[in-house]
Amino acid sequence: MDKDIVNKVAQSPIVTIDLKDFYPSESEFKIFDIADFLFEKLILKEKDYRTALKNLDYSQYQNKYVGITCSEDVIIPQWAYLLAEIHLFPYAKKIFFADKKSIIQKIILDKIENTDVEKYRDRPVVIKGCSDVDISIDAYIAITYKLMNVAKSIMYGEPCSNVPLFKKSILNK
């Protein structure tokens, strides 16, 4: 009974994608809060807002994903968001209308969209199901959609215990 234990999962051709790898670090994004420009936390004065935007140091937004939002429960005219975007544009990597939770999900989707999936061509792929960070169903749908063009098969879960979702032969019927 001196048989070596063989890890069949490690020897299999299955590739695992963990969407946690797409989760942004805090240093990748910044929130631009229009509430910081409100007069008495109630109204946005156009002239004061324009002056403040002209004088703002935008270096903190350099090469970052930026979410424009207003954390106060007040009516903000749509042009105010657009004006902020115009000032942020030369600095930001990408700009969204988003609070912190929303921008994280948008960044994950952006990273998925820009992922080269060629390395998964004709390979069985498992999309890891459990994570200690909040990943939206949108991200799972986006990566599955992208993989269906290249992967031999797609599963959900863990390599040792998964739910089969897709086989390339299904599309050829």
Report field, pTM of the whole predicted structure over 0.75: yes
- pLDDT at res. 63: 97
pLDDT averaged per 10 residues, the chain (length 173): 57 84 96 96 96 97 98 96 98 97 96 95 91 90 95 89 83 54
- Segment holding 85, helix H or strand E: helix 78-88
Are residues 127 and 69 located together in one domain of the fold?
no
Asked, for residue 3, whether it belongs to a domain, the answer is: no
Residue 2 lies in a domain: no
Locus of tokens 């090469």: 63
User: Residue 31: which domain range?
Assistant: 26-100
Cα separation, 106 vs 66, in Å, equals 10
